């Protein structure tokens, strides 16, 4: 069965970096795009962007350029989200979500369980 | 940047029909998707391509589209339907996606 398993919660200080992983299983990793979605405490969902798992080409939403990097390790069917120069406002749950196709379609059929990143001094 | 507008909250009694709207300028040309999120859980897709229902989603969930507004309808609402609901769609270029602000459905 399809599963997306994300890495565990992180507590970081402002200015530090964090790398969240999303390990896929139960399907051909490179056949489906991967999206990243942020949810700040008590807030709604924000689409951060997506990565083409076949080409590795990322697309970032407005507001998620510069400090945010999507990457892949196809040998272990894993997508990564790295955030640098962390700020308090980056405190959120970060989800990976599989797109039903190889391109970005908005149709997210499987989601990871979410990774809470807390930024606090 | 592109925005989708949802009402913050909708309340219905069990057995009634709940309608949650989502408005956006590009909706006439872009599909909408609806996600249900319960506290502490990841979102779940309940409607795709405006009105299609994924397997495993109860028939009481339906979607429709008219102009710049799409609507999620839950007929015969049950207590278990209490959740936050988010619409999602793309901007006119189809390149960037956005979620609506979310609607909290309360079952009275």
pLDDT for A102 equals 75
Residues A109 and A100 sit within 8 Å (Cβ to Cβ): yes
| Nearest in space to A79 (alpha carbons), one of A109, A43, A115 | A115
Determine whether the interchain pair A47/B88 forms a contact, defined as Cβ–Cβ distance below 8 Å.
yes
Nearest by CB to B45, from A37, A108, A112: name it.
A108
Residue in chain A nearest B102 by alpha carbon? A44
Nearest by CB to A47, from B31, B45, B98: name it.
B98
pLDDT for A103 equals 80
Q: What is the pLDDT along chain B (108 residues), one digit of tens a residue?
A: 899 999 999 999 999 999 999 999 999 999 999 999 999 999 999 999 999 999 999 999 999 999 999 999 999 999 999 999 999 999 999 899 999 999 999 999
pLDDT for A80 equals 98
> Could you report the per-residue pLDDT of A56-114, keeping only the tens digit for each?
999 999 999 999 999 999 999 999 999 999 999 999 999 999 998 878 888 899 999 99
User: Rounded to whole angstroms, how far apart are CA atoms A73 and A24?
Assistant: 11
> Could you report the per-residue pLDDT of A75-85, keeping only the tens digit for each?
999 999 999 99
**Residues 6 or more apart in contact with residue A53 via CB below 8 angstroms:** A29, A30, A31, A32, A33, A34, A72, A74, A79, A102
Nearest C-alpha of chain B: how many angstroms from A74? Answer: 24
pLDDT for A105 equals 84
pLDDT for A10 equals 97
pLDDT for A100 equals 87
pLDDT tier at A40, thresholds 50, 70, 90: very high
Nearest C-alpha of chain B: how many angstroms from A45? Answer: 6
Determine whether the interchain pair A47/B96 forms a contact, defined as Cβ–Cβ distance below 8 Å.
yes
Determine whether the interchain pair B42/A62 forms a contact, defined as Cβ–Cβ distance below 8 Å.
no
User: Rounded to whole angstroms, how far apart are CA atoms A53 and A80?
Assistant: 11
């Amino acid at each position: 069965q399809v599963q997306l398993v994300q890495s565990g919660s992180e507590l970081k200080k402002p200015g530090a970096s964090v790398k969240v992983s999303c390990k896929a299983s139960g399907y051909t990793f490179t056949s489906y795009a991967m999206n990243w979605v942020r949810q700040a405490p008590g807030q709604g969902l924000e689409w951060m962007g997506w990565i083409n798992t076949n080409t590795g080409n990322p697309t970032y939403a407005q507001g998620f350029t510069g400090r945010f990097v999507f990457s892949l390790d196809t040998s272990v069917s894993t997508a990564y989200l790295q955030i640098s120069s962390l700020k308090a406002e980056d405190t959120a749950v970060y989800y990976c979500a599989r797109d039903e196709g190889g391109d970005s379609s908005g149709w997210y059929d499987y989601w990871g369980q979410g990774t809470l990143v807390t930024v606090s001094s | 940047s592109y925005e989708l507008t949802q009402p913050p909250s909708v309340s219905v009694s069990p057995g009634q029909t709940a309608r949650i709207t989502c408005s956006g300028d590009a909706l006439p040309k872009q599909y909408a998707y609806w996600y249900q999120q319960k506290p502490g859980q990841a979102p779940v897709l309940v409607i795709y391509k405006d009105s299609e229902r994924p397997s495993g989603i109860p028939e009481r969930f339906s979607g429709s589209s008219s102009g710049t507004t799409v609507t999620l309808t839950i007929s015969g609402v049950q207590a278990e339907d209490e959740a936050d609901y988010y619409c999602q769609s793309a901007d006119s270029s189809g390149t960037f996606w956005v979620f609506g602000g979310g609607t909290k459905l309360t079952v009275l």
